[in-house]
Amino acid sequence: MKVIEVKGLVKSYGDFTAVAGIDLAIEAGEIFALLGPNGAGKTTTVEILAGFRAADSGSVSVLGFDPATKGDAGRAWRNRIGIVLQTASDAGSFKVHEIVKHFSNFYANPRDVDQVIEAVGLTEKRNSLVLELSGGQRRRLDVALGIIGNPELLFLDEPTTGFDPEARRAFWSLIRDLKAGGTTILLTTHYLDEAEELADRVAVITAGKIVEVSTPALLGGRSTAKATVSWMGPTGIQSEESDNPTAVVAKLAAQFSGEIPELTITRPSLEDIYLKMIGGHHE
């Protein structure tokens, strides 16, 4: 079942084309990551899918409805999705648990408020005012408000910006739990390790066009790219690229009569492949 299906999506702002005719299909229960540099069209695409912007042309189906004309689905359609956009929450006069509880009342089948607060790492701040939170803590609150409704489909636009490494990994566990419960997740992120850790499939978008859709392991021919074999030679670290690293290791084993000092075998990382696909320009 396709939870999201997009064909020929186009969105322009004056003379600037943010989304230039993309096709996209996301299956039920998968985590799908949309990767691309700033200005590539990621956020615009997510906002169209979530019903916050209208497309100029193309067809869009989200949970069986066009978000631009979701009046025929009404509140029931919105009740099935969760959204964490890049903008921070603005409810400074509320306490953390108050605002999460308030948002839970908008949904038919919300998650437990305290469990959500714990899941995003804000238990110690549950009685703090939102205006007292740090930037990273406010981002965690955004995530809490996005998942409190127990959504079928969750949009996450740069969700872990401002998270420390421990908080990011705790968040990853939460996302895996949501997936295990059947939630479909569309994720945009600048963290390539996050995409590799979480995503079933990724799409690379640049200049408003999708370059490729694949699994993290297969993107850009990554699995069949030449391997780099490195070892400690008489003059320092030496390396050799090869399509057959086993043969290189066998040759080295014979040369060293056994154990090869500081042997490593690596293939291009997801980041290596990604940077090549977008022309080497990182954010």
Instruction: Say whether both 18 and 70 belong to one domain.
Output: yes
Rounded Cα distance, 199 and 116, in Å: 22
With contact defined as beta carbons under 8 Å apart, do 178 and 147 qualify? yes
Structure tokens that stand for 95 in this block = 């306490």
Write down which residue in 192, 220, 248 finishes a domain: 220
Instruction: Say whether both 52 and 72 belong to one domain.
Output: yes
* pLDDT for the residue 160: 84
- Could you tell me the pLDDT band of residue 283, with boundaries at 50, 70 and 90? very low
Does any domain span residue 278? no
* pLDDT for the residue 148: 94
Instruction: Say whether both 116 and 185 belong to one domain.
Output: yes
Instruction: Say whether both 205 and 230 belong to one domain.
Output: no
Q: Which of 210, 180, 175 is nearest to 84 (CA)?
A: 175
* pLDDT for the residue 280: 53
* pLDDT for the residue 70: 57
- Could you tell me the pLDDT band of residue 4, with boundaries at 50, 70 and 90? very high
CATH number (domain holding residue 66): 3.40.50.300
Total of domains in the chain: 2
* pLDDT for the residue 234: 87
Instruction: Say whether both 142 and 233 belong to one domain.
Output: no
Stronger pLDDT, 281 or 41, i.e. the higher one: 41
Percent of the chain residues past pLDDT 70, beyond the cut: 95
Structure tokens that stand for 240 in this block = 């050799």
Does any domain span residue 279? no
| Parent domain of 178 | 2-220
- Could you tell me the pLDDT band of residue 73, with boundaries at 50, 70 and 90? low
Instruction: Say whether both 11 and 35 belong to one domain.
Output: yes
* pLDDT for the residue 8: 96
Give the residue-averaged pLDDT of 33-59.
Answer: 92
* pLDDT for the residue 155: 95
- Could you tell me the pLDDT band of residue 281, with boundaries at 50, 70 and 90? very low
Give the residue-averaged pLDDT of 37-48.
Answer: 91
Give the residue-averaged pLDDT of 185-209.
Answer: 93
Give the residue-averaged pLDDT of 254-270.
Answer: 88
Mean pLDDT of all residues belonging to the chain? 88
User: SS3 for the chain, per residue?
Assistant: CEEEEEEEEEEEECCEEEEEEEEEEEECCCEEEEECCCCCCHHHHHHHHCCCCCCCEEEEEECCECHHHHHHCCHHHHCCEEEECCCCCCCCCCEHHHHHHHHHCCCCCCCCHHHHHHHCCCHHHCCCEHHHCCHHHHHHHHHHHHHCCCCCEEEEECCCCCCCHHHHHHHHHHHHHHHHCCCEEEEECCCHHHHHHHCCEEEEEECCEEEEEECCCCHHHHHHCCEEEEEEECCEEEEEEECCHHHHHHHHHHHHCCCCCCCEEECCCHHHHHHHHCCCCCC
Give the residue-averaged pLDDT of 72-83.
Answer: 81
Give the residue-averaged pLDDT of 155-170.
Answer: 83
* pLDDT for the residue 178: 87
* pLDDT for the residue 135: 77
pLDDT in tens, 95-114: 999 999 999 998 988 999 99
Does any domain span residue 106? yes
Instruction: Say whether both 49 and 176 belong to one domain.
Output: yes
